[in-house]
Structure 1
Amino acid sequence: MRSAHTVEQVRAAEAERMAALPDGALMAAAAHGLARAVSAFLGGTYGRRVTLLVGSGDNGGDALHAGAMLARGGAAVEAWLLSARPHAAGLAALRRAGGRVVGSGEVPADLPAHRRPDVVVDGVVGIGGRPGLRDDAQAALAVLAGVPVVAVDVPSGVEVDTGRTPGPHVRADLTVTFGTLKPAHLLDPASAACGAVELVDLGLALPPAPVEALGAADVAGLLPVPGGSDHKYTRGVVGVRAGSAQYPGAGLLSVAGAACGLAGMVRYVGDAEVADRVREAHPEVVGDGRVQAWVVGSGGGSGAGEELAAALADGVPVLVDADALTHLRGADRSAGSPLVLTPHAGEAAALLDVPRADVEAAMLEHARRAAAELDAVVLLKGRRTVVAEPRGRVRVNTTGTPWLGTAGAGDVLGGLVGALLAAGLEPFDAASVGAWLHGAAAVLASAGGPLVAGQVAAALPAAVRGALGRDLP
């Protein structure tokens, strides 16, 4: 499990750690890790040109101390000071190592080709800074446009605890962070500005994190793996109420996701013509009957409200997607069905009565708000899908490929999460495991190229085997 801690949590853990170490030891460890990462990024140090953009405080100190180490390794290091109060010990270390220092009033307005660096180290604003960049930092970055950037802890200008980017900010190729991940490393839009993220361990004692990301081992531990005495009923039965005469493909794809093998049986209830096509494509799927979870809404059209009401009346977990989401407020939930909602940004915006752009700019905030207001687990789909539960706990999914942005992929995801609900996973686990497997299957199906939703469904068993470490059938 990758955990992302808030600034307050990190500051408290750093203070505790520093109290047990000699002065400067924690910064030295961070600087060593940063210098190693920059050297690896460059493929070596000797003869390389490195420009440090240095603000005030410890973030700038990390950059300066790392610059000193790079200079001792043969790099030509130049520090551009963007603050009148740079870290004194770091500045002295860089000068002793032979680094060049450019004062805050001497940052060039242009740079000849022979002085352009091989990498820029962004040490402007650390995790305690406000979002956005001052004019001098923006000007310096404009002069260095096109040069790869390594960010210190977070790209300067992003909002660390929320992942928002409300103002100008650095876009890094690599971010080297210390002690633990921060929410901005996982949450869009800030995570898109981080590039690759490398974590330097500082031995911090950290509390439980408010934002997490599953890894393969976590998924393997949560997956419902049948035992020797299990049969189709004990493994769970998932029912699908999706598709319509207008959108038959949505029903087929929802069933394809549900029929991935993680539940013991799939039932389809819906349009008669769609049912015929479902049976033709999936002869193992049966008709109406008792289920342990329902999947409702994809391609449901005008009948989605009635299908949602029927599913909610059963009192079992219900996955609500697409057309059914518009009928959710005011629906009769007296039977107590636990819900998983799977909106994209536009659907979440409609549920919350806010502009779509607001949702895309603050995924964490709106996923949590929707979960709390609707008393449901909310899987807010995006490049970095956010899964939130009503009490505020969050997981961010990091699997997938841009090729997954294709029609019908969400229908497959809904069926998959429904199967996991029927197999007995709690809604929060079902949603986050489903998102992980969906992304992993897309990577397998894509193999670096385009794909369609049906290929994602077909790759789900292989994604499950991969998570379980069982590559062979």
Structure 2
Amino acid sequence: MRTAYDVDTVRAAEGELMALLPPGALMQRAAAGLAAACADMLGRVYGARVVLLVGSGDNGGDALYAGARLARRGAGVGAVLLNPDRAHPEGLAALLRAGGRVADDPFEVLAVADLVLDGITGIGGRGGLRPDAIPLARAARGSNAVVVAVDLPSGVDAGTGEVPGEALRADATVTFGAYKPGLLIDPAREYAGAVRLIPIGLDLPSVPSVEALQHADVADLLPTPGAESDKYRRGVVGIVAGSARYPGAAVLAVAGALRGGAGAVRYVGPGGDAVIARFPETLVSDGSPAKAGRVQAWVVGPGLGDGPGVDEVLGSDVPVLVDADGLRCLDPDAVRGRPAATLLTPHAGEAAALLGVPREKVEAERLASARELASRYGATVLLKGSTTLVADADGPVRVNPTGTSWLATAGSGDVLSGLAGSLLAAGLGARDAGSVAAYLHGLAGRHASQGAPATAYGVAGAVPGVWRDVAASGG
């Protein structure tokens, strides 16, 4: 599992370690890892042209010490000092001793650079790049150089993933000691490029701020039927979805549910004929949810329009997933008082409506928005988007690392809802069901598209293959 820690936690761990080490030793550790990573990216260090963008903080010091190491290996290293009077003095001295220099014309050296090290701001940076740094950032991006961020891209918020102003987009980020939430959460994640973690010996808490499941973690959570399992022991998921106008939503939600680990799927709604035509194994009812038969979890909302069922399902004593039309005018008290888990799966627009804020605010502040929704509704929230977040009222927020922009297609969310609901019925908790569903759904989207447009039905069809791949990784 990939774990990330907030800024205060990382700083406290760094402070504790620095108290045990000789002065400057921790920065030297970071600089050694940074220089080695840069050497790998350059391939040939001797004769390479390296430019350091140096701010006044410790990231600037890391860049200077790393530049000194590269200079000793034959690279031509020039430092651009944004605030010469506040540049790290020992780091600058080390660079000059190694044969590096302070650039006379920053734009001249940036134009011919092979690699640019972004050490402008550190994890405490707020509010985007300062005006004097913006021309340098643009020149770096306009060159043919590989841009490597020191710890995190300058201009992004390390703790939240927000990008409140202009930032320097990196091709790669070398981060020290621990991942920071901004390296895993959009929009900041898009600025980080490929991220490499350099261990420096930090003693971090067992509970992170943010975590991202990997193949092995998901494999451990996948439900597997036992020798004595039957369809009812494996769980039954009920789907209340679709309408005369949107029968396809019912079909797609059922498609996801049939591939999600439960033993049977009950469908309730006006799309029964369309569902049976595609999936004859579905148990179809044209009555109310209460008369459909026993289920271990409900999914309500995809394509439902103004149809009934939301209140009745929320009044049940089993886990409920609420999506799409089910989220409209959702009463927090009806959710908070439920005896079983509730999983809400909004996209940014639906989350904005639930929070009473503009959509742009949710998209810019994804982590805070997911946490606020979970707190307000006393539920688990799966906030869909380029990085899907799964948040409880407390505990680490899960960030989904899989997916593709081709998943932004009609009906994709219906498949995800059915898949997550089936995992709920199979016995996973809301947090795990949402996280595993998002992970598999993202992989299925990649598999179905392979770099080209994909349909939601194609994504559903790809789930069994990626399920097998993930399960195999668990050994």
What TM-score do you get using the length of structure 1 for normalisation? 0.94
Partner of 1:291: 295
- The match for 1:324 among 311, 320, 326 is 326
SS at match of 1:53: strand
Q: 1:375 to 1:25 in 2, by over 3 A?
A: same
- Give every structure 1 segment of 4 or more consecutive aligned residues whose post-TM-superposition deviation is greater than 4 Å: 330-335
Mapping 1:435-454, distance limit 5 Å: 435-454=438-457
Does residue 398 of structure 1 match 2:394? no
- Give the partner amino acid of 2:405: P
Q: 1:140 to 1:470 in 2, by over 3 A?
A: closer
Does residue 144 of structure 1 match 2:133? no
Measure how far apart 1:269 and its partner are: 0.7
- The match for 1:309 among 278, 297, 311 is 311
- The match for 1:125 among 116, 121, 128 is 121
- The match for 2:275 among 272, 275, 278 is 278
SS at match of 1:316: coil
Unaligned 5+ residue runs, structure 2? 285-291
Measure how far apart 1:366 and its partner are: 0.8
- Give the partner amino acid of 2:233: T
Measure how far apart 1:92 and its partner are: 1.1
Give the CA RMSD over aligned residues: 1.8
SS at match of 1:125: coil
- Conservation of the 8 A alpha-carbon contact between 1:309 and 1:331: no
Q: 1:179 to 1:331 in 2, by over 3 A?
A: closer
Partner of 1:46: 46
Does residue 366 of structure 1 match 2:363? no
Q: 1:50 to 1:361 in 2, by over 3 A?
A: same
- Conservation of the 8 A alpha-carbon contact between 1:159 and 1:184: yes
SS at match of 2:86: coil
Partner of 2:421: 418
Identical pairs, percent: 57
Partner of 2:183: 185
Partner of 1:168: 166
Does residue 216 of structure 1 match 2:220? no
1:366-409 CA deviation, whole Å, 9 max, x = no partner?
A: 11111111111111110001111112531111101111111111
Measure how far apart 1:129 and its partner are: 2.4
1:114-144 CA deviation, whole Å, 9 max, x = no partner?
A: x520121100111122232222211222333
Q: For the residues of structure 1 that align with 2:304 and 2:135, how far apart are their CA atoms?
A: 52
1:21-42 CA deviation, whole Å, 9 max, x = no partner?
A: 3332221111111111112222
- Give the partner amino acid of 1:370: L
SS at match of 1:135: coil
Does residue 300 of structure 1 match 2:314? no
SS at match of 2:141: coil
Q: 1:470 to 1:396 in 2, by over 3 A?
A: closer
SS at match of 1:202: coil
- Conservation of the 8 A alpha-carbon contact between 1:51 and 1:120: yes
Partner of 2:287: none
- Conservation of the 8 A alpha-carbon contact between 2:390 and 2:435: yes
- Conservation of the 8 A alpha-carbon contact between 1:5 and 1:211: yes
Measure how far apart 1:328 and its partner are: 1.5
Mapping 1:240-259, distance limit 5 Å: 240-259=239-258
Partner of 2:289: none
Question: How many positions carry a matched residue from both structures?
Answer: 463
Does residue 434 of structure 1 match 2:433? no
Q: For the residues of structure 1 that align with 2:57 and 2:332, how far apart are their CA atoms?
A: 52
Measure how far apart 1:234 and its partner are: 1.0
Partner of 2:17: 17
Measure how far apart 1:332 and its partner are: 4.2
- Conservation of the 8 A alpha-carbon contact between 1:319 and 1:342: yes
Measure how far apart 1:435 and its partner are: 0.7
Measure how far apart 1:266 and its partner are: 0.6
SS at match of 2:45: coil
What TM-score do you get using the length of structure 2 for normalisation? 0.94
Q: 1:30 to 1:335 in 2, by over 3 A?
A: closer
Q: For the residues of structure 1 that align with 2:338 and 2:157, how far apart are their CA atoms?
A: 41
Mapping 1:69-80, distance limit 5 Å: 69-80=69-80
Measure how far apart 1:470 and its partner are: 6.3
- Give the partner amino acid of 1:339: T
Partner of 2:461: 458
Q: For the residues of structure 1 that align with 2:441 and 2:239, how far apart are their CA atoms?
A: 18
- Give the partner amino acid of 2:436: V
Measure how far apart 1:289 and its partner are: 1.2
Does residue 92 of structure 1 match 2:88? no
- Give the partner amino acid of 1:244: S
- Give the partner amino acid of 2:283: V
Q: For the residues of structure 1 that align with 2:444 and 2:22, how far apart are their CA atoms?
A: 48
1:395-438 CA deviation, whole Å, 9 max, x = no partner?
A: 11110111111111100000000001001111111111111111
- Conservation of the 8 A alpha-carbon contact between 1:465 and 1:471: no
Unaligned 5+ residue runs, structure 1? none
- Conservation of the 8 A alpha-carbon contact between 1:293 and 1:418: yes
Does residue 60 of structure 1 match 2:60? yes
Partner of 1:154: 152
Q: 1:35 to 1:330 in 2, by over 3 A?
A: closer
